[in-house]
Structure 1
Amino acid sequence: MSGVPEGEVLVRGSGPLLLGVRHHGPGSARAVRAALRAAAPRVVLIEGPPEADALIPLAADKEMRPPVALLAHVVDEPGRSAFWPLAEFSPEWVAIRWALDHGVPARFIDLPATHTLAWGREESLSGDPWEDRPSDRSEEGAEDLSGDSESPSHAVRIDPLGVLAETAGYDDPERWWEDVVEHRGGAGVGADPFAPFAVLEEAMGALREAFGAWGHDRDLVREAYMRLQVRAAQREFGDDVAVVCGAWHVPALRQKSTVGADRALLKGLPKAKADLTWVPWTHRRLARVSGYGAGIDSPGWYGHLFGAPDRPIERWMTKVARLLRDEDRSVSSAHVIEAVRLADTLAAMRGRPLPGLTETTDAVRAVMCEGSDVPLSLVRDQLVVGDVLGEVPESAPAVPLQRDLARLQRRLRLKPEALERELELDLRKETDAERSRLLHRLRLLSVEWGEPTASRGSTGTFRETWWLRWEPELSVRVAEAGVWGTTVLAAATAKAEADAVAAPSLADVTALAERCLLAELPDALPVVMRVLADRAALDADVGHLAQALPALVRSLRYGDVRGTDTHALTDVAAGLAERVFVGLPPACAALDAEAAEDMRRHVDAVHGAVGLLGETGTVSPDGPPPSAGIRGRWHSALRVLAGRDTVPGVIRGRAVRLLLDEGELAQDEAARLMGLVLSPGTAPGDAAAWIEGFVGGGSGGGMLLVHDERLLGMVDAWLAGVPAEAFTDVLPLLRRTFSAYEAGVRRTLGELVRRGPGARGSRAVATSGMPGFAPDLDLERADAVLPVLSLLLGLDESDDDNLVEAAR
């Protein structure tokens, strides 16, 4: 080999330089760097898909920042994909960068992705080859090592790293690896940088001999292909060839095999047209906790070990202290010093050359976290694992949809980030409205970058709150969505139209219509509305119609803020409402308790939808708004529900309450209906259900009872007269009803019941004879509220007179 420093003693055999590594191992990465520096090969061969050779130069781009991954997907089936993740401390990445920095060719030599993605379609391959196939997990994952290549499902699965650690007397493979590799400084320390690879090759050879020469059919094929690539490189460059691959494969690459035998194993492999590119990756996705089979427990810790120039423990403790201070915890320099001392002491007591993650974690818990695991969990999440998100250059190949998305992200200043963050949008601003449309369109494409949540401090339709977090898997979702179009708008439109046709229920179609409005897809809306009208005409289930109406009516509100034309929805919504009004009373007859409660929720939802439908109507100069007729017919339907004995009590009670709140039912009439239902002729269970419908369900019924002592007295008198044998059946229902009230309301009701009816002694009781009510409006008390009301509504003094008249 050329490039060997004068006087340095190197111990290595003839033939290619085989560097068996641990995927994502910083010790292996340092060892690879030292070995390549000492050997100076003319070509570097790396385990990975050969189709990505053209992408290797991008690793030197200044915009490329690991962790990143090679993404391969089937052109006609983007959901079939595979990843090859690389972190800064991955040996493969170090080998690539060394080759690029020294002008040496770098090539991938693993089985081509065209075979990897096509092989075993029935197994639904998705993920990355290092994860899905045990033999690719190298020292990290469970290995499939039976000698029966015909029956891989019966293979013996072992962890080579665990076997070596157990042989050395360790019960933790990670701790063993730290002691023998990470804490020894890798192969860069000492006279022979190749010795660690020779030792690891010997260990793997012994394991393969003991547990079988292979663990999976694919191992044989992949190793045969790699041997052919190594031979081809040797013919071109002689023995100045370095191979970086999983240590498990090194004995197979070293063994003697004929070209004919290797080619015979590759004959007849299935193929699929594949595209490859670089995509960003994250430390969190490298962690085993994420489900990545070739992952590591602590990517953030390993990244620190690889990047720290010296004194890694002291630097780590400083990072921890900074994080805890940012969380307003009191951590001083003295804490850092004591934590370092404790970690060193623990390492000495446990016979370790240097403190590892276990010792540093124990020291942080004892000194900086005062024995608590709560702040320690933050350290694990933010530092030990971490939220580092890689970046790839714009010049990297991408599907057209990905390029359009990247363009929109730049224009709208929405940078993909691994760390979850909150985004508040004001839809009255054009940029925020465009951001909202983009996020809603991506959700239609199953690219769940943002998740909408309830806005704090605002109930208006002009404000939205999102939680954003970019995961590497979303790159696959974007590739999958590419089949629908080349831009986000075109793809979302095509996907919405297809979803409308395939929607299983009427409620799904109405929800899709709402999402189309949120995403502003005017071309998709006619298709969705046509399907919606057809489904509504054929669906006779009132429950389905009632479930679909609220989402449809909500959609009508978005036209005001977003400037979307919603006239197409109005006729469908009105027709759907009419069908609900007609079909609801018969549908409410003879229901059991569970079905009655479901229908009660539908009644509430329809009532709210009718109110919103009224807000969307336009006022005619010659008459009332067109919504007045809809409201009137809904009130008629509620009256039918309230007076029909075959309707369950919970629905009748709710109908009476809704009519009372709308001013369509007088207080005396409501009291009369309650008196009838609480009479001895009504079964206690049905009476209790009526009360639950009237005052329960979070409808403000508690305040109604507080301010109307007539109703409270009737409920109290009825409850006192319930027979003992029926009381135990009634009590759970009533307890559920009243337990939903706020504590202050429950306390006030209890005091009123304890005092007895009419105990307030107010002027209202004396003058009207009705507890809680006066004969006329108290104008003096009402006027006292007007200044505060003016402030809330943003009115000036000139509007006060109008406000007074409106209040009266």
Structure 2
Amino acid sequence: MAARTARRTAEITYIGVRHHSPACARLVRATIRRLRPAYVLVEGPADFSGRLEELLLGHDLPVAIFSHYRDEARVHASWSPFCAYSPEWVALTEGRAAGAEVRFIDLPAWHPAFAERRNRYADADERYADVTERLCRTFAVDNSDTLWDHMFEGGGDEDTLAERLAAYFDLVRGESEAGPDDTAREAYMARWVRAAAAEAGDRPIVVITGGFHRAAIRRLVESGDGSGDGAGAATDGAGWPEVPEPPEGAIGGSYLVPYSFRRLDAFTGYQSGMPSPEYYQRLWEGGPEAAAAGLTEIVVTRLRKRRQPVSTADLIAARTLTEGLSRLRGHSAPTRTDLLDGLVAALVTDDLEQRLPWTARGPLAPGAHPAVAEMVAALSGDRVGRLFPGTPAPPLLHDVTAELERLGLDGAGPVTVKLSGDRGLRRSRALHRLRVLGIPGFERESGPSSGAEPVLEERWTLKPGDHRLPALIEAGAYGATLQDAAMAVLEERAARAASAVDELAAVLFDAALCGCTDLSERIAGTIAAAIANASELGGIGEVLDTTLGLWRHDRLLGTAGSPLFGQVVQGCVTRVLWLVEGVRGGPAPADPRRLRALAATRDALLHAAGPLGLDRDAALAVAGRVGASTEAPPDLRGAAFGLGWSLGAAADPVRALLGAARPQIVGDWLAGLFALARDEVLAGETESGTERAGTEQAGTEQAGTGESAGAESAGADEPGAAGRSVLAVLDEMITGLAENDFLVALPALRQAFEFFPPRERETIARRLLERRGVRGSARSLLRTEVDPMLTAEARGLEEKVDRLLAADGLGPSDDALRKEPV
């Protein structure tokens, strides 16, 4: 562990640690107290060394250094967390107490070496998985966490702890490859060690780094290699290394944030150095026996609160089994897994459907046994750190605090926000900006979900809590004011949506709710590029529908006539028309998403063509080509015909319907037609009914001359004849279908008529009754007691049985079956 450089007399002690390990923290404490070194060098962000006084103000742990970085190519955020038993924290506090000069010596968090890491102190076990797997097999344990406890946290000889740790990490590093990020960091940290040796004279130095890096840093220091730091900074060997600065134009910074045990725990999905932080906190404070006893009582208390019976005998059994497992496994004191296994053996009598979660690393799986879940929660703990009053904070925190106080939103409980007044709109926008930033404690219960909704108020529930402060500090990475921060988040989401254009609809609506429709040119360009490159009609349709509603109708949120939204509408219409002409495919179920895209395009052409300069003639040309194409899917052909009809083009819907009269495609064709021209279809039905009524009256008046309505009926058999509506022709077509053809067409026909709302379906049903001269309730036709599809399937089964019987001479003949009414 100790070494002397050839050029210096300083004794350098290297301690490789596992982050958040009480055993390593004890070794660090004992070493510093024994050596009282001149320098204590700690793996941590070198750019924070000048702010150690801020870090050591007297916070309630856990806390973390939150670092953020943003430039044109990369956005990065990371945390360097500290709890009471973190070896790095103990090095800082014990080093100060011993009178040493304490410094962080690792590259700053913004450096590209950390591009793939969101947590500086997360152990990357995958780098040495082969070693740990082999050791796990040797010691008959389940995973690396249990292996670590068995080797180091479960008691043992404290005098040999340093040698055992060194042997373990030497084995790990000896069989593992270091990537370029590791080598850059190690070279930089080695320069700090050499500089400290030059300054210390004959006084000792203690270096605390992750165990994976210990041997490499020592080798670099002793060999004098690695004079470069991998960060573009040089040194003459006599002074302290330069701290790299972010590139020009980049934005970054670091702040202290309260942290929590939940965020530290591997069972919540975070790959921290150690799982179950509450257990290790108690291990650090009182030793393994006290930790096991205290947490056993906590688990029992939690289970009793859940009304799960746990007797005193169960408690005694849990303690006895824990101690027995500890001795059986060769531990001088109970370890974490001894405790958990003992609790399960004593308190769980049911068969477990899942593996015990501590036999592997990762989040607790859904459906875990309630008692097991309570054990995991108890050992995780609910401690939340607290910053010392006056700790520097980003400007956003102060802006939000003042804004909430001004708007009367700094309390707790339900809040109703009126959108019709200026103050109400300001309150709504502030709350939505906080929601977009992901600040906890601001939950909207109700409010408008589109720009066209006549909703004049919102209901929110405000719930201040411990997690709000760290979230606000971390959100400070996005901007100094609430509006700027929300704008930056929306820009980031828009950039991500470039590969999933349907997410742009939510981004644009959130921009309206936040009052951020005057977005930067960069986000406008991002949105335009995303739309221009999108290939999925449904996603573009959602963007167009949302944006058009906000551009046309919204007066409350201030987006009506927005230039940005107008650009989005233009881009979406152009892209939809371009894509729809390239869709090919035979009969298939109608696609509601692409039909909605064409419906939104129709609305844009009807209501925004003039102000936005949309080309109706080009749209009509596309509709004509798609509607006549034999290669386009039936639903798009019907939708294209409906688009032209709704835009006022000359149309013969009856002839078009008869052209799609095959059972395999008629339902899908109608789905497209109804999605785009529902109003025109109903208007034609009304006109047809009026003409028919006039014809019937004329026929009565001419009865004496021998003329009758039957003459007109005969003439109506010609396609496109006056007086026949789409629904009338469709009625005749369906009535004339054979049983098998009807069953083929029925599912798509049902889907097509779903485009009519209930009141309009009732109107259609009433027309059907009138057409047959039947008196009755049209509404009753829409409220069948049995699912129509089930009835159709039963009819089909009956027909199949009848045909089989007829084939064997046991039933009516095929001719008789064909003569039965459908």
- Shorter-chain TM range is 0.5 to 0.7
Q: How many Å separate the matches in 2 of 1:163 and 1:186?
A: 24
Question: Which residue of 2 is the match for residue 428 of structure 1?
Answer: 418
Question: Which residue of 2 is the match for residue 437 of structure 1?
Answer: 429
* 2:671–2:752 CA contact under 8 A, matched in 1: yes
Question: Which residue of 2 is the match for residue 57 of structure 1?
Answer: 53
Question: Which residue of 2 is the match for residue 182 of structure 1?
Answer: 153
* 2:80–2:120 CA contact under 8 A, matched in 1: yes
3-state SS, counterpart of residue 113 of structure 1: coil
CA 1:77 to 1:376, structure 2 compared with 1: closer, same or farther past 3 Å?
A: farther
CA 1:179 to 1:749, structure 2 compared with 1: closer, same or farther past 3 Å?
A: closer
> Match for 1:355: what amino acid?
P
Superposed, which structure 2 residues align to 1:236-247 within 5 Å? Answer: 238-247=202-211
Q: How many Å separate the matches in 2 of 1:286 and 1:508?
A: 31
Q: How many Å separate the matches in 2 of 1:220 and 1:570?
A: 49
- 2:274 counterpart (284, 296, 299): 296
Superposed, which structure 2 residues align to 1:682-697 within 5 Å? Answer: 684=742, 687-688=745-746, 691-696=749-754
Q: How many Å separate the matches in 1 of 2:502 and 2:175?
A: 60
Correspondence 1:360 to 2:339:
yes
Correspondence 1:520 to 2:511:
no
Question: Which residue of 2 is the match for residue 45 of structure 1?
Answer: 41
* 1:279–1:475 CA contact under 8 A, matched in 2: no
Residue by residue over 1:695-716, the C-alpha shift from the partner in whole angstroms, topping out at 9 and shown as x without a partner, is 44796699969997968999xx
Q: How many Å separate the matches in 2 of 1:367 and 1:706?
A: 68
Q: CA shift at 1:48, angstroms?
A: 1.8
Question: Which residue of 1 is the match for residue 194 of structure 2?
Answer: 228
CA 1:640 to 1:442, structure 2 compared with 1: closer, same or farther past 3 Å?
A: farther
CA 1:313 to 1:450, structure 2 compared with 1: closer, same or farther past 3 Å?
A: closer
- 1:481 counterpart (461, 478, 481): 478
Q: How many Å separate the matches in 1 of 2:525 and 2:17?
A: 60
Question: Which residue of 1 is the match for residue 81 of structure 2?
Answer: 85
Residue by residue over 1:97-145, the C-alpha shift from the partner in whole angstroms, topping out at 9 and shown as x without a partner, is 3345x3734523434428x8155xxx945434555xxxxx4xx7244xx
Q: How many Å separate the matches in 2 of 1:493 and 1:346?
A: 56
Q: CA shift at 1:607, angstroms?
A: 12
Residue by residue over 1:717-768, the C-alpha shift from the partner in whole angstroms, topping out at 9 and shown as x without a partner, is xxxxxxxxxxxxxxxxxxxxxxxx99966399869x99xxxxxxxxxxxxxx
Q: How many Å separate the matches in 1 of 2:513 and 2:496?
A: 20
Count of residues paired in the alignment:
652
Correspondence 1:316 to 2:311:
no
Q: CA shift at 1:517, angstroms?
A: 1.7
Correspondence 1:344 to 2:323:
yes
CA 1:745 to 1:24, structure 2 compared with 1: closer, same or farther past 3 Å?
A: farther
Q: How many Å separate the matches in 1 of 2:39 and 2:332?
A: 36
| Structure 1 range deviating more: 644-653 or 88-97 | 644-653
RMSD: 6.3
* 1:405–1:488 CA contact under 8 A, matched in 2: yes
| Structure 1 range deviating more: 450-459 or 277-286 | 450-459
* 2:440–2:468 CA contact under 8 A, matched in 1: no
CA 1:496 to 1:160, structure 2 compared with 1: closer, same or farther past 3 Å?
A: closer
Question: Which residue of 2 is the match for residue 678 of structure 1?
Answer: 734
CA 1:595 to 1:200, structure 2 compared with 1: closer, same or farther past 3 Å?
A: same
CA 1:29 to 1:583, structure 2 compared with 1: closer, same or farther past 3 Å?
A: closer
Correspondence 1:306 to 2:280:
no
Residue by residue over 1:150-199, the C-alpha shift from the partner in whole angstroms, topping out at 9 and shown as x without a partner, is xxxxxxx4566666666666564433432343231884xxxx5xx42244
* 2:432–2:513 CA contact under 8 A, matched in 1: yes
CA 1:574 to 1:61, structure 2 compared with 1: closer, same or farther past 3 Å?
A: closer
* 2:446–2:459 CA contact under 8 A, matched in 1: no
CA 1:357 to 1:711, structure 2 compared with 1: closer, same or farther past 3 Å?
A: farther
* 2:447–2:458 CA contact under 8 A, matched in 1: no
* 1:317–1:336 CA contact under 8 A, matched in 2: yes
- 1:127 counterpart (104, 118, 127): 118
3-state SS, counterpart of residue 47 of structure 1: strand
Question: Which residue of 2 is the match for residue 799 of structure 1?
Answer: none
Q: How many Å separate the matches in 2 of 1:696 and 1:182?
A: 65
What is the TM-score with the length of structure 2 in the denominator?
0.60
Question: Which residue of 2 is the match for residue 735 of structure 1?
Answer: none
Q: How many Å separate the matches in 2 of 1:40 and 1:433?
A: 61
Q: CA shift at 1:90, angstroms?
A: 0.9
Superposed, which structure 2 residues align to 1:151-170 within 5 Å? Answer: 157=128
CA 1:393 to 1:745, structure 2 compared with 1: closer, same or farther past 3 Å?
A: farther
Q: CA shift at 1:440, angstroms?
A: 4.0
3-state SS, counterpart of residue 591 of structure 2: helix
Q: How many Å separate the matches in 1 of 2:427 and 2:286?
A: 39
3-state SS, counterpart of residue 102 of structure 2: strand
Q: How many Å separate the matches in 2 of 1:547 and 1:704?
A: 29
Residue by residue over 1:24-43, the C-alpha shift from the partner in whole angstroms, topping out at 9 and shown as x without a partner, is 11222233334444554454
CA 1:64 to 1:707, structure 2 compared with 1: closer, same or farther past 3 Å?
A: farther
| Identity of matched residues, % | 19
Question: Which residue of 1 is the match for residue 787 of structure 2?
Answer: 746
Q: How many Å separate the matches in 1 of 2:538 and 2:458?
A: 31
> Match for 1:141: what amino acid?
D
Residue by residue over 1:556-589, the C-alpha shift from the partner in whole angstroms, topping out at 9 and shown as x without a partner, is 79957x564636599969998xx99x999x9899
* 1:511–1:552 CA contact under 8 A, matched in 2: no
> Match for 2:82: what amino acid?
L
* 2:538–2:594 CA contact under 8 A, matched in 1: no
3-state SS, counterpart of residue 88 of structure 1: coil
CA 1:48 to 1:502, structure 2 compared with 1: closer, same or farther past 3 Å?
A: closer
* 1:89–1:302 CA contact under 8 A, matched in 2: yes
* 2:545–2:597 CA contact under 8 A, matched in 1: no
> Match for 1:175: what amino acid?
T
Q: How many Å separate the matches in 2 of 1:233 and 1:107?
A: 13
3-state SS, counterpart of residue 274 of structure 2: coil
CA 1:555 to 1:392, structure 2 compared with 1: closer, same or farther past 3 Å?
A: farther
Superposed, which structure 2 residues align to 1:451-600 within 5 Å? Answer: 461=455, 462-463=457-458, 478=475, 481-482=478-479, 486-493=480-487, 512-521=507-516, 523-524=518-519, 547-552=542-547, 554-555=549-550, 564=558, 566=560, 592-594=586-588, 596-598=590-592
> Match for 1:437: what amino acid?
R
Q: CA shift at 1:529, angstroms?
A: 10
* 1:506–1:545 CA contact under 8 A, matched in 2: yes
| Structure 1 range deviating more: 21-30 or 204-213 | 204-213
CA 1:181 to 1:746, structure 2 compared with 1: closer, same or farther past 3 Å?
A: same
Correspondence 1:71 to 2:67:
yes
Q: CA shift at 1:551, angstroms?
A: 0.9
* 1:214–1:220 CA contact under 8 A, matched in 2: no
> Match for 1:243: what amino acid?
V
CA 1:288 to 1:750, structure 2 compared with 1: closer, same or farther past 3 Å?
A: same
What is the TM-score with the length of structure 1 in the denominator?
0.61
Superposed, which structure 2 residues align to 1:90-105 within 5 Å? Answer: 90-100=86-96, 102=97, 104-105=99-100
Correspondence 1:652 to 2:644:
no
3-state SS, counterpart of residue 23 of structure 2: helix
* 1:651–1:693 CA contact under 8 A, matched in 2: no
Q: CA shift at 1:536, angstroms?
A: 11
